[in-house]
């Protein structure tokens, strides 16, 4: 069956239906990862977005139930050049097409993703629709819906509603605020002897203090960080507890806003597994996994609060902050990336060291 991608500027791509049939509208973005497509699809940070994979063949090792980063696909749609129909891997349980159908996600293949990516790089991310129901008669009505679309209340949509515990009985107790948490953040903490209590993203300092934890983890998540005014106010009180705090992605952005800095939307964002980041403290460059459309404006961070610790080697945007006013450090990238690379996992070890020091162990 034919499928179409219609962008907000009127550009139309024709392809073949992938996954479910119907129409979906979202913000069209691109990701440069060669692998990790299942982790990408199930990353809550993609809430409200239609993902374009720049790598031309997707699904060649299939899908399996172990590699999901959350309980479902949060993306609005999926765009690939070619979807593999006959995957080959001993862990494969189903094809990409079958997985998308099961999750009721509308996708398209056969699209010139190179051309699409160049459009998004030139003009910036834009809204679009993937549809199997396109016609010239409904084009203008669909364009109106596309142009009116916006991502709002993203954290409210993806955060958990009840707390849960992993690694019960382990040495260090960590409260993890779920702004759209990926499963591998929990795994990385548990394997470092942490008992992790995952809390809704709107948890307060009082609720965290009552748990008697040794540290606080702030997760990744979707949307415009500045709209989360309640969480930003909560973080000011959470930081005042004096506990070690480690923030990733949205957690990094929200912490900076709580410190008095500003954030801004990037033209086309950083999404993929090959973003170079320079660690200014250790004078080395890491290859990192990233997924964000907003960035902390490093020059707006008050000097008395802390300093930029990492910068993107390509565009020099802020990729990390080390706070002096708080026992906190944050990064924009994903040290927990289960699809790779693993260059930045040492940051979890620093978090453990901070908790150990707080407990008087070193």
pLDDT in tens, 183-227: 999 999 999 999 999 999 999 999 999 999 999 999 999 999 999
Calculate the alpha carbon distances from 309 to 67, 128, 131, 221 in Å.
Answer: 31, 36, 43, 21
Q: How far apart are CA 97 and CA 59, in angstroms?
A: 9
Does one domain contain both 128 and 164? no
Does one domain contain both 29 and 47? yes
CA 113 to chain centre: 21
- Which among 150, 181, 210 is the end of a domain? 150
The pLDDT score that the predictor gives to residue 362 is 59
Please report which confidence band the pLDDT of residue 313 belongs to, taking 50, 70 and 90 as the band edges.
Answer: very high
User: Structure pTM?
Assistant: 0.96
Q: What is the mean pLDDT of residues 265-273?
A: 95
Hey, what are 357's tokens? 């020091």
Task: Assess contact for 220 and 271: CB atoms under 8 A.
Answer: no
Domain holding 214, by residue range, is 155-358
Give 194's strand partners: 172
The pLDDT score that the predictor gives to residue 338 is 79
Over the stretch 71-114, which tens digit does the pLDDT of each residue have?
999 999 999 999 999 999 999 999 999 999 999 999 999 999 99
Does one domain contain both 135 and 233? no
Residue 26: phi and psi, rounded to 5, are -165, -175
Neighbours of 282 (CB within 10 A): 11
Q: How far apart are CA 89 and CA 357, in angstroms?
A: 44
Give 279's strand partners: 284, 310
Does one domain contain both 205 and 281? yes
The pLDDT score that the predictor gives to residue 207 is 97
Does one domain contain both 135 and 160? no
Does one domain contain both 82 and 108? yes
Does one domain contain both 179 and 122? no
Task: Assess contact for 220 and 250: CB atoms under 8 A.
Answer: yes
**CATH number of the domain that residue 257 is part of:** 3.40.50.880
Q: How far apart are CA 266 and CA 226, in angstroms?
A: 14
Cite the active site residues: 249, 334, 336
User: Sign of dihedral through CA atoms 12, 119, 287, 197?
Assistant: negative
**CATH number of the domain that residue 79 is part of:** 3.50.30.20
Q: How far apart are CA 56 and CA 134, in angstroms?
A: 25
Best CA proximity match to 174, nearest among 207, 196, 143: 196
Q: For the chain, what is the domain count?
A: 2
Residue 305: phi and psi, rounded to 5, are -90, -35
CA end-to-end span of the chain, whole Å?
63
Helix (H) or strand (E) holding 195: strand 194-200
Checking if the pLDDT of 258 tops 70, the result is yes
Best CA proximity match to 104, nearest among 222, 7, 23, 1: 23
SS3 of residue 198 by DSSP:
strand
């Amino acid at each position: 069956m034919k499928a179409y991608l219609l962008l907000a500027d009127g550009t139309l791509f024709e392809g073949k239906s992938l996954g479910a049939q119907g129409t979906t509208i979202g913000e069209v973005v691109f990701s440069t990862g060669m692998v990790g497509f299942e982790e990408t699809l199930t990353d809550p940070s993609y809430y409200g977005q239609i993902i374009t994979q720049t790598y031309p063949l997707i699904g060649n090792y299939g899908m399996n139930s172990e590699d999901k980063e959350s309980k479902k696909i949060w993306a609005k749609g999926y765009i690939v050049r070619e979807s593999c129909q006959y995957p080959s891997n001993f862990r494969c349980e189903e094809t990409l097409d079958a997985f998308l159908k099961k999750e009721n996600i509308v996708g398209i293949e056969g699209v010139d993703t190179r051309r699409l990516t160049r459009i998004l790089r030139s003009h910036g991310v834009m809204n679009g629709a993937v549809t199997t129901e396109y016609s010239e008669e409904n084009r203008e009505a669909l364009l109106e819906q596309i142009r009116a679309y916006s991502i709002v209340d993203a954290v409210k949509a993806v955060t958990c509603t009840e707390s849960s515990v992993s690694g019960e009985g382990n040495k260090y107790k960590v409260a993890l605020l779920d702004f759209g948490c990926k499963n591998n953040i929990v795994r990385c903490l548990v394997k470092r002897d942490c008992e992790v209590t995952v809390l809704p993203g709107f948890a307060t300092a009082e609720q965290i203090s009552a748990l008697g934890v040794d540290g606080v983890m702030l997760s990744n998540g979707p949307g415009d960080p500045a709209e989360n005014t309640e969480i930003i106010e909560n973080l000011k009180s959470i930081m005042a507890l004096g506990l070690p705090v480690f923030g990733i992605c949205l957690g990094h952005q929200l912490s900076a806003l709580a410190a008095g800095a500003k954030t801004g939307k990037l033209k086309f964002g950083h999404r993929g597994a090959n973003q170079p980041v320079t660690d200014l403290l250790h004078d080395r460059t890491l290859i990192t996994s990233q997924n964000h459309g907003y960035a902390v404006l490093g020059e707006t961070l008050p000097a008395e609060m802390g300093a930029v610790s990492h910068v993107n080697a390509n565009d020099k945007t802020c990729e990390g902050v080390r706070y002096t006013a708080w026992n906190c450090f944050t990064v924009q990238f994903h040290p927990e990336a289960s699809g790779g690379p693993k260059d930045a996992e040492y940051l979890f070890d620093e978090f453990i060291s901070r908790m150990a020091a707080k407990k008087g162990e070193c």
